[in-house]
């Protein structure tokens, strides 16, 4: 057999009893029971695609698009996105008004900045959407074989496929549309499908064709093929399908086992033929997709409200100015002889119509005071976010060496949102796990084997050691020793775990096998007691499965194509123990046993009599075989709760020990199964097999129930052999990352397409679940869900009752350490997400420590994300790696894609991409924390400086009789935001750090400053506005008081308007730059150059500008050199006003740091005085305090274990003191 080749003619229907057996007869009456009316109106003419290109059957082609814009909608939609910003609307109106004569500025100076800002942002949006278009184009131009005519197939692009086309899909290719399976390279129409892109599951699904279409197994057979499919209309349900096939004058019912969905992949099957049912956006995967949303951060939305407030202030002072101007025009202008003579044609200054003049002046004032709402704010924010994104992209700590992948900020609009996340919604497969199962431990005949520790055990033990060290730095070792001696090594194996070699030193080179125990390896199990049970244990692993062996000719060993990763790990383990599964025929399996002969291996053949397959409801799998000696055996593996209930009285010999081992394995985050067997008499088996064959041959809706009942009759009176423990390999650092995120106060939900048992096991692995946590399981599994309305209402009422009861139980819980985990399946979620129930479900979920949603479709992932986002009103982050996660990623406030093995769909739809889940810790706790504080402080400071500057214009307007005269030269005003104060703001937004990155990770509670919005709440915003108002008053009135009648020059002249305006502007430059220096916590040479260089730039600008001829510089000609610089009053005023402006802020931060410090203030003080080096105990204590109280993560697991140990110790000590005899002296 060649490498990787499957025996294609193996008839799989003999193996898959439940899912693959076909009734021998199809009855038309049953098949024609398709509901009529809306929802079931689709008609497909097989092999006649031309009929679907005209009405009434005009179905869409297979072209798909996930872009936000197209050629027609780009301009209107992009412009709409830009003018959703309140400030841009104002600037648009100002630009239009600048075209009139009443504008105080030229039209070019108003229109050009708006065009540049809006144009750059629209260009950025276009580039991002172009990348999506390129990805769509690659998918649409994939090729697949399509039947043309006369039994000839040719390759066509996916986008050109139509409904009714017959296509031929080859191995390891994706299905281009939703297909009805007609036949495959297997003679009984079986094919294997990987649905990772749909539901995240890595195990292969078995699909089967109808028996009637099996002869269509060659290109030529489709020459005259026709048929009609009547089925459901396009919908988003991945797990259901209702339809009939009319073929050869017969009607055959269709179900999901015959449907091949788009974006799933054909595996282990050379080829399949199928007819297209749904195309393009009608396919189920696209029905689960959501439109690319336009996302805006919380800070940006809040900034709109600030703009509204400032615009209201702008309108208010403009109205005051216009009223003042009207009054002045009416009563004062006629008596001011120095004004130009009255001109009746000039309506701007008409004493006879003061209201009209005031109205004109209102427009002038609205433009003049526009510095309150600077357009440069948006330019600065865009530039700062762009630079922040570069720092994220180039962070070496976010680089994955194995894949050579860096982090990528695919959009810079949401940088600060990374620091405000409240809830993380995560996919499981490929995101938390790396799709690999490793056999780690086992329990055989009541004896535990396997010395290697799981990742969860190692992480928890290290955390426990750290806690001991922090609480008892001088005596931790002795205290641990005392606890160990008190309870024994089985209670807490702390020292063994910590002092063992590094995990990497033990890393197994055998994929799927990480077991270490010399008692079982290399045939040493032959010297163990209970040898018979050990052999039986290994044989159950090697025989009880549905896998297919593949010989690797390079290595000479077998690899296995199994339905689930667990099954593959069991077979690898059996092979390593000496029981190698090497051959499967239609009715038998062959196991090559290396021991006890040690020489030539012995091949033992087991005849397969029956196979009872694993289902989510059964939670077990059994195989009935006949061994070489004619003995009939039932070999069974399944969930321990199911197996234990089916044990015989004499089969419970090892039950107590096995139960204890299973609890230990579960606490270590391992997935467990129990193994049992039963010997059958010939007569007993024959009697049962007659009933089983009757159930198999039955036709009707109760067939599955009959099979289940007959199977239950056999799977009882079992004898327990042992249990297995496999580790679902998490990605590197996942438990530590989840623990750190939990300490930062983040809530973590897992949304997966996996079965409930798998999801629960992963919950234990990554410490979202732990022993002692109360699990609330909401499911429809135990209810019969019919199609009638009454049945659905009954199921809905049951789900509501489960939610209500669970909510009541959570509310009545008195134990403060009690933790609840909510686990819900996809069907239950369907009802829980309905409008009349979703808020109760959300309320229950929020009260639980962790939430796991299983068997969810991509659309359900998106709906859950929307519910959390809208229901809590807090920031959500969704993270995933597959196409099934796209809807969730797009729906969340922030979408993070993992560039893993499932393609790039999630990355293309995401806002940020990382290589592994563990990088999320640094992305949020470091970059998120920094970006939030930087942007928040930057925006607050921006409004502060513009209020301080803009209001001085208003004060002078009132001081000068509301004449519309500016006290500043036009070039001063234009340079204020562009040159003189822009660079310090950029340095604040790009380089500011309240604490270093290491401290951010050591003190995860610092992250809560973002979700609590401490630096951009309304109190702080109004505080900064008040600071700006105070500075404007100080700057204007101090300067007016000082220079009003004070001699300024050496000759005794007072200062004119240009001198006063320049001194006032100098004070503004000094005050706002000094303020930003006080705001910064982290200085490098860059900040020093930009802050103090901006002040120097003002003097350089004033000198150069004053050097031009008076026709250019006007009143500023030689102003600095001849007038200001020689005057001591100029320098004294600058110093006085600067100190007066910044004194209140300095007093505020001094008081806050002394009496009400924030967390980062304390850390800054410790760092400044080097207490982290000189007093390690204090540093450790502060680190321990800097954890949010959490009930998930291995820290919570350790704390729970510590509480239990302390309680046991107290009980033991009290018991000892009570029992001690009393001696009299």
Separation in Å, CA 444 to CA 23, 638, 885:
41, 15, 40
The answer to whether the CB of 972 falls within 8 A of the CB of 1067 is no
The tokens 């009638």 sit on which residue? 788
Q: What is the DSSP letter of 848?
A: S
> Can you name the residues that pair with 192 across neighbouring β-strands?
206, 267
Question: How many CA within 13 A on the CB side of residue 969?
Answer: 22
User: How many other CB atoms sit within 10 Å of the CB of residue 858?
Assistant: 31
The closest alpha carbon to 674, from 693, 698, 646, 649, belongs to 646
Tokens 């433009």 belong to residue: 367
Task: Give Cβ neighbours of residue 938 (< 8 Å, ≥ 6 apart).
Answer: 380, 381, 384, 985, 988, 989
Q: Which of 1063, 1064, 1060, 1059 is nearest to 1033 (CA)?
A: 1064
Candidates 263, 427, 667, 754; catalytic one = 427
For residues 746 and 774, the answer to whether their CB atoms sit within 8 Å is no
Residue pair 964/104 in contact (Cβ under 8 Å)? The answer is: yes
Tell the residue number behind the tokens 């007691």, with chain if given: 529
Crossing angle of the two packed helices 734-743 and 1194-1219, in degrees rounded to 10: 80
User: What is the residue-wise DSSP string for 179-206?
Assistant: EEEEEESSTT-EEEEE-HHHH---SPEE
At 192, list the tokens. Answer: 């294997």
Map 861-891 to HEC letters. HHHHHHHHHHHHCCEEEEEECCHHHHHHHHH
Residues 6+ apart with CB under 8 A from 1170: none
From 571, 561, 579, 679, select the one nearest 624 (Cα to Cα).
679
Residues 220, 1167: Cα–Cα separation, whole Å: 79
What is the torsion angle, in degrees rounded to the nearest 10, for the CA atoms of residue 1199, residue 1204, residue 1206 and residue 1210? 160
Residue-wise DSSP of 569-599: HHHHHHHHTTEEEEEE-SSEEEEEE-TTTSS
**Cα–Cα dist 279/60, whole Å:** 7
Listing DSSP states for 119-186 in one string gives HHHHHHHHHHHHHHHHHHHHHHT-EEEEE-STT-EEEEEGGG--TT-EEEEETT-B-SSEEEEEEESS
Q: Does 427 qualify as catalytic in the annotation? A: yes
User: Token match 């196409």: residue?
Assistant: 883
Torsion of CA 781, 787, 792, 798, to 10 degrees: -20
Torsion sign, CA atoms 814, 816, 817, 820: positive
Secondary structure tally for the chain: helices H, strands E: 42, 33
**What is the H or E stretch that residue 1001 is in?**
helix 997-1002
Is residue 1071 a contact partner of residue 1031, using CB atoms and an 8 Å limit?
A: yes
- 717 in Cβ contact with 678 (< 8 Å): yes
Which strand ranges, in their side-by-side order, compose the sheet holding 205-208? 205-208, 190-194, 265-267
What three-state secondary structure class fits 1070?
A: helix
Q: Are 647 and 720 in contact (CB under 8 A)?
A: yes
Catalytic residues: 427
């Amino acid at each position: 057999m060649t490498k990787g080749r499957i025996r294609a003619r193996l008839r799989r229907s003999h193996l898959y009893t439940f899912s693959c057996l076909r009734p021998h007869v199809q009855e038309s009456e049953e098949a024609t029971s398709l509901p009529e009316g809306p929802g079931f109106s689709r008609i497909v003419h097989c092999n006649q695609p031309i009929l679907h290109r005209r009405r009434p059957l005009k179905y869409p082609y297979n072209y798909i698009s996930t872009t936000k814009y197209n050629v027609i909608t780009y301009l209107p939609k992009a412009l709409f996105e830009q003018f959703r910003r309140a400030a841009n609307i104002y600037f648009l109106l100002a630009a239009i008004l600048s075209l009139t004569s009443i504008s105080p500025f030229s039209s070019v100076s108003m229109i050009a900045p708006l065009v540049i800002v809006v144009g750059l942002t629209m260009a950025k949006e276009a580039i991002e959407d172009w990348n999506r278009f390129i990805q769509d184009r690659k998918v649409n131009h994939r090729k697949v074989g399509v039947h043309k005519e006369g039994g000839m197939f040719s390759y066509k692009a996916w986008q050109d496929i139509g409904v009714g086309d017959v296509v031929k899909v080859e191995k390891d290719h994706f299905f281009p549309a939703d297909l009805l399976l007609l036949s495959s390279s297997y003679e009984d129409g079986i094919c294997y499908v990987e649905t990772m892109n749909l539901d995240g599951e890595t195990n292969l699904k078995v699909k089967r064709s109808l028996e009637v279409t099996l002869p269509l197994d060659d290109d030529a057979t489709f020459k005259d093929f026709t048929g009609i499919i009547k089925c459901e209309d396009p919908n988003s349900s991945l797990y259901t399908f209702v339809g009939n096939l009319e073929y050869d004058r017969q009607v055959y019912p269709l179900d999901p086992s015959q449907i091949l969905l788009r974006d799933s992949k054909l595996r282990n099957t050379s080829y399949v033929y199928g007819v297209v049912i749904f195309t393009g956006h009608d396919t189920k995967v696209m029905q689960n997709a959501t439109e690319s949303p336009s996302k805006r951060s919380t800070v940006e939305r809040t900034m709109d409200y600030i703009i509204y407030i400032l615009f209201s202030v702008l309108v208010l002072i403009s109205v005051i100015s216009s009223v003042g101007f009207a009054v002045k025009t009416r009563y004062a202008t006629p008596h001011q002889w120095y004004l130009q003579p009255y001109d009746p044609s000039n309506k701007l200054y008409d004493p006879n119509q003061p209201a009209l003049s005031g109205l004109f002046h209102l427009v002038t004032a609205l433009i003049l005071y526009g510095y309150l709402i600077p357009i440069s704010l948006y330019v600065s924010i865009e530039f700062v976010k762009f630079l922040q994104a570069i720092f994220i992209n180039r962070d070496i700590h976010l680089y994955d060496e194995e894949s050579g992948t860096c982090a990528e900020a695919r959009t810079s609009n949401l940088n600060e949102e990374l620091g405000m996340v409240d809830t993380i919604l995560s996919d499981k497969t490929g995101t938390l796990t790396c799709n690999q199962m490793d056999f780690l431990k086992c329990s055989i005949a009541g004896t535990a084997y396997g010395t290697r520790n799981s990742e969860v055990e190692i992480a928890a033990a290290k955390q426990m050691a750290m806690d001991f060290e922090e609480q008892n730095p001088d005596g931790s070792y002795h205290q641990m020793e005392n606890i160990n001696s008190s309870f024994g090594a089985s209670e807490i194996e702390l020292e063994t775990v910590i002092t063992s070699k590094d995990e990497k030193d033990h890393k197994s080179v055998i994929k799927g096998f990480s077991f270490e125990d010399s008692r079982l390896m290399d045939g040493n199990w032959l010297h163990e007691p209970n040898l018979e049970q050990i052999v039986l244990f290994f044989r159950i692993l090697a025989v009880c499965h549905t896998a297919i062996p593949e010989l690797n000719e390079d290595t000479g060993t077998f690899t296995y194509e199994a339905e689930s990763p667990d099954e593959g790990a069991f077979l690898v383990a059996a092979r390593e123990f000496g029981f190698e599964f090497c051959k499967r025929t239609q009715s038998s399996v062959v196991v090559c046993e290396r021991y006890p002969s040690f020489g030539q291996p012995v091949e033992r053949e087991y005849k397969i009599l029956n196979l009872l397959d694993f289902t989510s409801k059964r939670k077990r799998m059994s195989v009935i075989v006949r061994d070489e000696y004619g003995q009939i055996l039932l070999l069974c593996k399944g969930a321990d709760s199911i197996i234990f209930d089916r044990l015989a009285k004499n089969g419970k010999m090892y039950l107590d020990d096995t139960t204890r081992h299973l609890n230990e394995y579960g606490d270590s985050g391992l997935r467990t199964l129990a193994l049992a067997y039963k010997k059958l008499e010939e007569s007993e088996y024959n009697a049962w097999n007659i009933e089983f064959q009757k159930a198999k041959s039955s036709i009707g809706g109760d067939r599955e129930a009959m099979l289940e009942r007959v199977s239950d009759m056999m799977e009882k009176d079992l004898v327990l052999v042992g249990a297995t423990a496999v580790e679902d390999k998490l990605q590197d650092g996942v438990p530590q990352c989840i623990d750190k995120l939990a300490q930062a106060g983040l809530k973590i939900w897992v949304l997966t397409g996996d079965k409930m048992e798998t999801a629960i096991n992963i919950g234990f692995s990554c410490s979202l679940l732990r022993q002692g946590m109360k699990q609330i399981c909401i499911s429809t599994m135990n209810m019969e869900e019919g199609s009638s309305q009454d049945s659905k209402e009954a199921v809905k009422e049951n789900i509501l009752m489960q939610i209500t009861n669970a909510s009541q139980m959570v509310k009545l819980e008195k134990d403060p350490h009690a933790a609840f985990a909510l686990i819900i399946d996809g069907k239950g979620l369907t009802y829980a997400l309905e409008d009349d129930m979703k808020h109760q479900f959300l309320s229950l979920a929020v009260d639980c420590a962790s939430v796991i949603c299983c068997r969810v479709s991509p659309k359900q992932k998106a709906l859950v994300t929307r519910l959390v986002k809208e229901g809590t009103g807090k920031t959500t982050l969704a993270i995933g790696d597959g196409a099934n996660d796209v809807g969730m990623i797009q729906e969340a406030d922030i979408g993070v894609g993992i560039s893993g093995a499932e393609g790039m769909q999630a990355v293309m739809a995401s806002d940020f991409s990382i290589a592994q889940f563990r990088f999320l810790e640094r992305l949020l706790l470091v970059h998120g924390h920094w970006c939030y504080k930087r942007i928040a402080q930057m925006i607050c400071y921006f409004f502060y400086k513009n209020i301080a500057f803009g209001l001085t214009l208003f004060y002078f307007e009132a001081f000068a009789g509301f004449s519309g005269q500016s006290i500043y030269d036009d070039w001063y005003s234009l340079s204020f935001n562009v040159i003189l104060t822009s660079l310090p703001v950029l340095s604040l937004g790009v380089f500011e750090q309240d604490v270093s990155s290491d401290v951010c990770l050591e003190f995860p509670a610092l992250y809560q400053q973002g979700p609590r919005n401490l630096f951009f709440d309304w109190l702080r915003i109004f505080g900064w506005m008040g600071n700006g108002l105070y500075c404007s008053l100080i700057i204007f009135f101090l300067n007016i008081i000082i220079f009003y009648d004070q001699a300024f020059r050496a000759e005794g002249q007072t200062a004119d308007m240009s001198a006063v305006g320049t001194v006032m502007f100098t004070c503004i430059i000094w005050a706002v730059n000094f303020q930003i220096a006080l705001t910064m916590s982290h200085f490098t040479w860059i900040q020093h150059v930009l802050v103090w260089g901006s002040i120097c730039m003002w003097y350089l600008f004033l000198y150069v500008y004053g050097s031009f001829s008076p026709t250019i510089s006007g009143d500023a000609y030689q102003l600095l050199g001849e007038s200001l610089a020689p005057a001591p009053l100029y320098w004294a005023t600058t110093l006085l006003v600067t100190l007066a402006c910044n004194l209140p802020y300095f007093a505020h931060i001094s008081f806050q740091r002394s009496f009400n410090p924030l967390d980062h203030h304390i850390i800054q003080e410790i760092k400044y005085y080097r207490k982290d080096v000189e007093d390690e105990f204090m540093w450790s204590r502060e680190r321990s305090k800097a954890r949010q109280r959490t009930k998930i993560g291995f820290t919570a697991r350790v704390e729970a274990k510590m509480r239990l140990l302390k309680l046991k110790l107290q009980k033991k000590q009290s018991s000892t003191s009570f029992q001690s005899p009393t001696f009299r002296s």
